[in-house]
A and B are shown apart, each in its own frame.
Chain A
């Protein structure tokens, strides 16, 4: 990405099944400690990419499995509130997930397991990124493309950018601040809560912020 232009990039997940599965919560914890970091990201950040246009009450695959297949609402609640977007390092996220399960198991006399549901199948994904549309140089061009671009681009720039680059800021905010000098707008976009929502809602929120900025009288 050049300093002065913004290139929207979409993505497609190539999903890979790993030979690891869990039938109870201890196995889930043990496997969580050994799977590749990409698998943790797939089941947490990737949940946001896959669950469109709907969100479910869980926010990541681990919480959803514990709730639906193990039927342990207490642990599901605790895993669901772990916001993956607050972790710039996947290893820290892995630690948070495993320590939460460990702490939960310490309070129980037996390990909750799947009785009528399905095992948890660990997967990972490889993102194939795809440039979309011409590069933008102005806020108006940015707005026009943002309104039309495939929603995976919202994931790449708002979610993947943070985990890929290990920074708090997303691609949109970074470009608006450094290339267009729109620090206020950048800050407002950075404050959007991307957890427990959908890519389309995030798009709509950014569009409304950009529209408001475009409507402001120029100084």
Chain B
């Protein structure tokens, strides 16, 4: 028994190596867990880059409350289980002051009980409406909800005389939740969903599902709720099958990558997105323009890749927290939480944020724009 008890002994010692590190105590610690690798890496990657860039910039200008910001980040790979362990690590071991993160809704929902239990101000970067509805004391979020996206799309459809549609959505968390919210709000806009198909997150061909939709009588438009490569393949298959009715996508594809992957087939596709993608097209004098132009230029210069609205969510999340700390004059968790809830008139990449006790998102539909893809680029439509 001796030899291996020694091994186990020495391995338990390595657990000790995971103990809180003696970093500079007076830094403000911003904790984060993002899906930097894995299937949702197109969310986590720009989010992490944005956090790193912005924190460096804030530190260069003297930090917050005279203290430097320090980012403590873990890669959740989009897995709820990993996210939970890392959040415990952020709270108990790294003892961060605030957490900004959670690329996907699944990982965010999984850690909410931990934030609530330990009283950690948390700004989520994920989409699902259930994150802030019902309101949780310690949980805030920056992106528009999937419910709002569905509403925006349906309002646009209604304006254009579309009342009968088909849906095709991913079976991942984003697609599932989007489908559910769409079904719930469709009635409010007089939209009928005649047929609903799904595809798996790793599927490589959706022509079978789309053929079914094509053969459904009365469909005036198709809405695809999903993110990642799925919507790009749907778009290509859509063109291959020669389906004539307009195709709508969700805000899940609001990045240049989608246009690149879907190629010509993306022409004419419409989707709701934040104004970030249209920065140059905004009229001079638009209050949002300076904010998003500044972010866009800095990001694109530094990382040599186009901005996506996802990175913008991280910028908004970080700035909300920084502003709240300045407002509160401290990093005390309850004070920061209260200040976050008092956020008024913050102009971010997703629009103007006005939070309250009853609203931990603080966005309305005005900053959400309908875009159309024309000549491989975004165009605003009305």
Pairing of A with B? no
A-to-B contact residues, CB < 8 Å: none
B-to-A contact residues, CB < 8 Å: none
